[in-house]
Amino acid sequence: MKIKIKFIALFILTIFLILLSLNTFKASAKTDSETTLKDRFISYCLFAPDKKIKESPSEYGLKYEEVQINLKNNNKLFGWYIPADKKTDKHIIYLHGSKGNIGLYLGGIKELHKVGTNILILDYEGFGRSTGNETIANTINDSIAMYNYLIKEKHANPKNISLFGYSYGGALAAELARKKEFHALVLESTFSSLFEIAIAKHYPLVEFIISENILNTKENVRNLKIPILFAYAENDKIIPTSNSKKLFEAANKPKYIYEIKDAEHHNIFKFVTPEYVNLIKKIIL
């Protein structure tokens, strides 16, 4: 009986992927030929981009420069470079979550700006004004493009670049930290692995479509030798707090963990404390 059920599930999944693929090609003539049907299906379930940016840094009292990065696949990333109030050679790349666009994360950016570093935040392909399609593979390439931008355009020293990843962006940050040189890493409300969180959320057919090696944050941090801060919201119902604790246990020293009291997943920035900001300063400055 179990074999029959799995066969039916796989058949339904195959039909769905074919239909999704056809719709994707119709929707955009720029679909990457290397993007697999499996990746499109996962991305369809994972991402919820918003093309309309409703707020800018100026509305939060932040000065900024508009940034455009031209990618090798002919797509473009759009975002902001927000300088520190005082001149510094320290930089943070902020990698946002899987929903909305950069405008949605400005509350967190305002709090992070108190650390005293320059901040770069851009939308992944398919989000906000960025062109292209939102896929896991593209977000990884996009994060590398952000890193290269700081090196080439802002003449940043890799030893002065840190990563801040929120939610999905945290898993992406850990992936990027395995590929490039960084000073430190902050993971806020991040899942231990995409496979584990999908299983926990009871997503259908997950065992057939998501590899345990895709965005396995726990394995990535296990192999890092830089300071890492794991922060989580006390009342997080989206990413259980156990995820941050698992990551902390897997990581090498120096490592830190911080609980943001009273916060939930989507409003974590509203409960940021001076103590939390000072802890970020400790590992980044």
d(CA 156, CA 243): 32
Over residues 98-146, the pLDDT tens digits come to 999 999 999 999 999 999 999 999 999 999 999 999 999 999 999 999 9
Question: What is the bridge-based pairing of β-strands 161-166 and 185-188?
Answer: parallel
Going by C-alpha positions, the residue among 111, 138, 119, 113 that lies closest to residue 127 is: 138
Over residues 163-178, the pLDDT tens digits come to 999 999 999 999 999 9
Give φ, ψ of 87 to 5 degrees: -60, 130
Q: Are 75 and 144 in contact (CB under 8 A)?
A: no
Over residues 57-98, the pLDDT tens digits come to 999 999 999 999 999 999 999 999 999 999 999 999 999 999
* Local confidence band at 43 (pLDDT 50, 70, 90 cut-offs): confident
> Which residue would you say has higher pLDDT here, 96 or 3?
96
Tokens standing for 121?
A: 């935040």
Give φ, ψ of 247 to 5 degrees: -65, -40
pLDDT at site 33: 40
pTM metric for this prediction: 0.87
For the ranges 31-35, 92-96, 166-170, 271-275, which has the lowest average pLDDT?
31-35
Going by C-alpha positions, the residue among 269, 254, 131, 246 that lies closest to residue 193 is: 246
Helix and strand numbers, DSSP H then E, in the chain: 10, 10
Q: Are 265 and 236 in contact (CB under 8 A)?
A: yes
* Rg (the chain; Cα; Å): 19
pLDDT at site 71: 97
Give φ, ψ of 237 to 5 degrees: -100, -10
